[in-house]
Amino acid sequence: MRKSRAAPSLGCFLAKSEPGVYSIDDLARDGKTAWEGVRNYLARNTLRSAKKGDLVLFYHSNAEPSGVVGVAKVAREAYPDPCQFIAGHAYEDPASKPDEPRWSTIDLAFVEKFPSTVSLAALKEDAALQGLEVARKGSRLSVHPVSQAHFEHIVALGRKKKR
């Protein structure tokens, strides 16, 4: 008798972007994008831990309202962020060397856009989301892990039609 093996669980993350820079609509149009420009070591390490197929909450920051607007998935695992080597680029890092790159990026693919934003205020008020990093006062990380329970709860909220 063969033992059944559980499917490996996917990682879940949240990635922030200002909609004027790159929005969920841009990702829907493009289908896929490199998530370049992460210049925080903790966020970079989170990117490096992401596996192909992992799910990502797409969060609009500096928006009215700021909040989760949809879902993406990791289409390509971490690789050196090419922008760090482009002279004059906003994300250039002269201290980073091609044989020892300091910064990484991943590729994200569009999955879905929610009918309405799950606002930061709603995330903070929801008792089921206690401990969610983005709702923590002073949280500035552009990419961070999210528990599967938090991910599923936020997706359920996002899929509800606005009344």
pLDDT band at 151 (very low <50, low <70, confident <90, very high): very high
Q: Is residue 1 a part of any domain in this protein? A: no
Q: Is residue 6 a part of any domain in this protein? A: no
Report the predicted TM-score, pTM, of the whole model to 2 decimal places: 0.91
Whole-number pLDDT of residue 52: 97
Q: Is residue 4 a part of any domain in this protein? A: no
Q: Is residue 76 a part of any domain in this protein? A: yes
Taking only the tens place, the pLDDT of each residue in 2-46 is 444 444 457 999 999 999 999 999 999 999 999 999 999 999 999
Please check the confidence at residue 60 and state whether its pLDDT lies above 90: yes
Q: How far apart are CA 158 and CA 24, in angstroms?
A: 13
Mean pLDDT, range 100-128, rounded to an integer: 97
Domain that holds residue 78: 12-159
Q: Is residue 100 a part of any domain in this protein? A: yes
Count up the domains in the chain and report the number. 1
Whole-number pLDDT of residue 163: 52
Percent of the chain predicted with pLDDT > 90: 88
Q: Is residue 55 a part of any domain in this protein? A: yes
- 26-34 own/partner pairs: CB under 8 Å, 24+ apart: 27/58, 27/70, 27/72, 27/108, 27/109, 27/110, 28/70, 28/110, 28/113, 30/110, 31/109, 31/110, 32/75, 32/107, 32/108, 32/109, 32/110, 33/107, 33/108, 34/81, 34/82, 34/105, 34/106, 34/107
* CATH number of the CATH domain containing 52: 3.10.590.10
